[in-house]
Amino acid sequence: MPTFRPDLDGLITYNPGKPIEEVSRELGIEDIVKLASNESPTEPFPEVQSAIAAAAGTVHRYPETSAYYLAEALSAHHGIERDSVWVGPGSTSLLLSASLATVRADTSVVVARPSFVMYSIAAAIAGGDVIDVPIDADHRHDPEAMAAAIRDDTVVLFYCNPNNPTGTYSPAGDIDRLVGLVPERVLILIDEAYAEYVTAPDYASAIPLALERDNVVVTRTFSKVYGLAGLRVGYAMGKPETLQALRRPQVPFATSTLAQIAAIEALRHPDRVVERVKENAIGRELLATELRGRGLAVIDSQTNFVLWRPAGDPAATASALLHEGVIVRPMGPWIRVSVGTERENRRFLHALDNVPDTTG
């Protein structure tokens, strides 16, 4: 046997669930509805699909390694300098690269719990210690508690806004207070994977802060509202010197040609994004109202998923829903359901009514 790092033995691994075709075959159900990974329920924009098809003949060449044109398109999109943008194959890969560039043994990172599990995984892969800080009674990040948890050896603080899996968000004032409380030697990674879906008027992106402060970086993704999860493309924004240091562990040619081309085309259709955000908000409201109507606790969400509490055991309820052809994700005492198309949302609610012991 080769020699493996023993400190990775206990690493929690990201659980993506079984392929949908496998579930379909095992259960003998053809029409499976997947509401487990917060993907866009609709296909990439038609213009994006055409751009991908048109570029198929170019993939014998390596991609543009710095994603030059995509970074340029993103800089125009956000009204920032191109050097303030760093592109990678999914925002998760950027979080990992950033962790590898900052975290090592004898250092620690601060994360909220529950939040996106990849923060703890990335920190552990880099060899660091993970300090969990519970979210507050309103299921939001607690900036004061997170700042207070920082130790002398802390190098990164992860902040998910809006948060996965709760769907809650931190208003602008919370982030300003956090940044004021965190020492400048600690990198604050603010993950805004779901920012496009937010409709709350007091939400503000931390992008302006990231452009101002050496120790603040914001990540975004094309995996959600743009519907490009299968292509893997995300980006970070911050001070050029900070981004340069964080990208050192990134492999060359990391973001594929098709991913870059698709993302550039996707940015040309802001009207379609507006449409999707509107549809998502309607679906989110429908799910929350219907779940509450069944006597279940639901956390107010600003994302494309809803966290709710089944009356019975969450794992058993999720399994029963699976047998009805609907895949959701149990999380502790809760279940997370992604907002689907209207048909998928109704399928989920119908399935729920067929499952015993789920309504209060």
Nearer to ligand PLP, 38 or 257 (CB): 38
Q: Which helix (H) or strand (E) holds 50?
A: helix 46-54
Minimum distance from CB of 223 to ligand PLP (Å)? 3
Q: What angle do CA 189, 139, 337 make, to 5 degrees?
A: 90
Q: 10 Å Cβ neighbour count for 175? A: 22
* Tokens encoding 121: 């995984």
Rounded Cα distance, 137 and 124, in Å: 27
Inter-residue contact 44 to 227 (CB < 8 Å): yes
Minimum distance from CB of 16 to ligand PLP (Å)? 10
End-to-end CA distance of the chain, in Å? 52
Minimum distance from CB of 224 to ligand PLP (Å)? 7
Cis previous bond, 162, omega within 30: yes
Verify binding: residue 91, ligand PLP, rule CB under 6 A: yes
Inter-residue contact 99 to 108 (CB < 8 Å): no
Q: Which stretch binds ligand PLP (CB under 6 A): 16-24, 71-79, 89-97, 138-146?
A: 89-97
**Burial (Cβ within 10 Å: 0-12, 13-18, ≥19) of residue 139:** middle
Verify binding: residue 257, ligand PLP, rule CB under 6 A: no
Verify binding: residue 160, ligand PLP, rule CB under 6 A: yes
Verify binding: residue 301, ligand PLP, rule CB under 6 A: no
Inter-residue contact 299 to 306 (CB < 8 Å): yes
Verify binding: residue 229, ligand PLP, rule CB under 6 A: yes
Q: Which stretch binds ligand PLP (CB under 6 A): 47-55, 105-113, 221-229, 237-245?
A: 221-229
Among 40, 154, 164, 304, binds ligand PLP (CB under 6 A): 164
Verify binding: residue 280, ligand PLP, rule CB under 6 A: no
Among 191, 196, 290, 324, binds ligand PLP (CB under 6 A): 191
Q: What angle do CA 87, 90, 94 make, to 5 degrees?
A: 60
Verify binding: residue 90, ligand PLP, rule CB under 6 A: yes
- Three-state DSSP class for residue 33: strand
Q: Which stretch binds ligand PLP (CB under 6 A): 73-81, 86-94, 306-314, 333-341?
A: 86-94
* Tokens encoding 29: 């159900």
Rounded Cα distance, 330 and 337, in Å: 9
Nearer to ligand PLP, 121 or 296 (CB): 121
Minimum distance from CB of 255 to ligand PLP (Å)? 11
Nearer to ligand PLP, 158 or 308 (CB): 158
Size of the site for ligand PLP (CB under 6 A): 13
Nearer to ligand PLP, 112 or 291 (CB): 112
Q: What residues have CB less than 8 Å from 131, skipping those under 6 apart?
A: 108, 109, 110, 111, 149, 151, 154
Nearer to ligand PLP, 264 or 355 (CB): 264
Contact positions toward ligand PLP, by CB under 6 A? 38, 90-92, 116, 160, 164, 191, 193, 221, 223, 229, 234
